[in-house]
Every structure is written in structure tokens, then in C-alpha cells.
């Protein structure tokens, strides 16, 4: 990042609004597409894709943003070890989210997306108040931590919704291919 670049509270509000609109669209799409039985079929795919997705996210952000953000909140060893730890952690989190989504009443796809937002809130409470993510990095100084928390809810709901929809489309595509193959074999 060039020196003097600074994240502002109004900028965070703007991106929060964009993410909120995207989340509503993705949530409605997931609610319409992913039924309880289908969610049961893709739960293990959700676990694997969730873990791989966040492994890749953390590998990318720790390489790209180390010098201007993460160096201020993590020890030096974290740059190389955290992606793998977070990959495993998010895999286990996805397992728990899938289980809870199926145990709670209602559409598990909606529950999954909402739980993604809750995860964003909890993880960013720790990042902001435990690690100083909204105060230590110079790029974040002066931003309102509460606004960063609101942004995190919509950011993580967005990620988890994308994971869900990608898994559903992969399952749907494979199911269609396997179904067509079965029809051809039966002829």
C-alpha cells in the first residue's frame, strides 16, 4: 500500500451497503435453490470447500497485506503458519455450521448464511478488541470499530453464501451428469 492510504468509516459503510445488498440476493437465491435434503447431500462438500476457501483467503491476504496490515497484529511466525491453521479451523467450523444448520428448524441454507455472519461478528470482535485490528495498523487508525464489526457480519455472510452456492451448483451439475449417464446406460 502506498504511504498515506487510509481506510475511512464512510468507505467501510459504503462497502457494507454493497455487501448487504449482495447478501440479500445470495440469501434469497440459496433459500430458493437449496432444500433440506439437498443440503444434507452437500454438507461434506461444504466442509471441504469451506476449509480450502479460507486456506486460500488467508494465504493470499497474509502475502498481500502483511507489510501494511497483518504485521501490526500478528507475530512474525504467523505469516507462514496461520493459513494452514485457519484452513483446519475453518474446516472444523464448516462442519459445525453444517451440523447446526441441519439441526435447527427452517431452511438450512438460510441458517448457514446467517451463521456465516455470526462467525464474522465473533471473529472480528476478537480481531478488533483482542488483536487491535482497527487501531494498530496505520491504514485503519481512526476508523469506527463498531462499523468494522458491522462490515464483518456482511463480509463473512457473503463468503459463506458463495461457498454454499458453489457447492450446490457443483452437486447439481454432478447429479445431472450422473443422471444423464444412468439414462444412457439404461438404453
- CB 119: neighbour CB atoms within 10 A? 21
Please list the helix, strand and coil fractions of the chain in percent, rounded to the nearest 5, in that order: 80, 0, 20
Q: In angstroms, rounded to a whole number, what is the distance separating the alpha carbons of residues 123 and 26? A: 22
Residues above pLDDT 90, as percent of the chain: 89
How many helices and strands in the chain, by DSSP H and E?
5, 0
Helix (H), strand (E) at residue 98: helix 78-103
29, burial (CB in 10 Å: exposed 0-12, middle 13-18, buried 19+): middle
Of the pLDDT bands very low, low, confident and very high (cuts 50, 70, 90), residue 180 is low
Q: In this predicted structure, what is the pLDDT of residue 181? A: 57
Please report, to the nearest 10 degrees, the dihedral formed by the alpha carbons of residues 116, 121, 122, 125 taken in order.
160
- Is residue 186 predicted with pLDDT exceeding 80? no
Question: pLDDT, tens digit, for every residue of 75-119?
Answer: 999 999 999 999 999 999 999 999 999 999 999 999 999 999 999
Q: In angstroms, rounded to a whole number, what is the distance separating the alpha carbons of residues 54 and 4? A: 29
Question: pLDDT, tens digit, for every residue of 113-172?
Answer: 999 999 999 999 999 999 999 999 999 999 999 999 999 999 999 999 999 999 999 999
Q: In this predicted structure, what is the pLDDT of residue 58? A: 97
Of the pLDDT bands very low, low, confident and very high (cuts 50, 70, 90), residue 38 is very high
More confident residue, 176 or 65: 65
Q: In this predicted structure, what is the pLDDT of residue 4? A: 75
- Is residue 46 predicted with pLDDT exceeding 80? yes
pTM over 0.85, yes/no: yes
75 torsion bin: left (phi>0), alpha (psi -120 to 50), beta (else): beta
Amino acid at each position: 500500500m502506498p504511504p498515506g492510504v487510509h481506510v475511512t468509516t464512510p468507505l467501510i459503510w459504503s462497502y457494507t451497503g454493497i455487501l448487504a445488498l449482495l447478501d440479500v440476493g445470495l440469501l434469497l437465491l440459496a433459500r430458493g435453490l437449496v432444500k433440506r435434503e439437498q443440503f444434507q447431500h452437500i454438507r461434506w462438500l461444504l466442509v471441504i470447500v469451506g476449509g480450502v476457501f479460507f486456506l486460500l483467503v488467508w494465504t493470499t491476504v497474509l502475502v498481500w497485506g502483511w507489510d501494511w496490515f497483518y504485521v501490526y497484529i500478528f507475530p512474525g511466525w504467523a505469516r507462514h503458519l496461520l493459513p494452514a491453521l485457519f484452513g483446519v479451523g475453518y474446516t472444523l467450523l464448516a462442519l459445525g455450521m453444517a451440523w447446526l444448520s441441519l439441526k435447527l428448524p427452517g431452511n438450512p441454507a438460510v441458517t448457514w448464511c446467517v451463521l456465516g455472519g455470526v462467525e464474522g461478528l465473533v471473529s472480528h470482535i476478537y480481531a478488533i478488541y483482542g488483536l487491535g485490528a482497527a487501531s494498530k495498523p496505520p491504514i485503519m487508525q481512526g476508523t469506527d470499530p463498531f462499523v468494522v464489526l458491522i462490515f464483518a457480519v456482511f463480509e463473512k455472510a457473503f463468503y459463506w453464501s458463495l461457498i454454499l452456492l458453489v457447492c450446490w451448483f457443483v452437486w447439481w451439475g454432478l447429479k445431472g451428469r450422473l443422471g444423464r449417464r444412468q439414462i444412457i446406460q439404461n438404453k
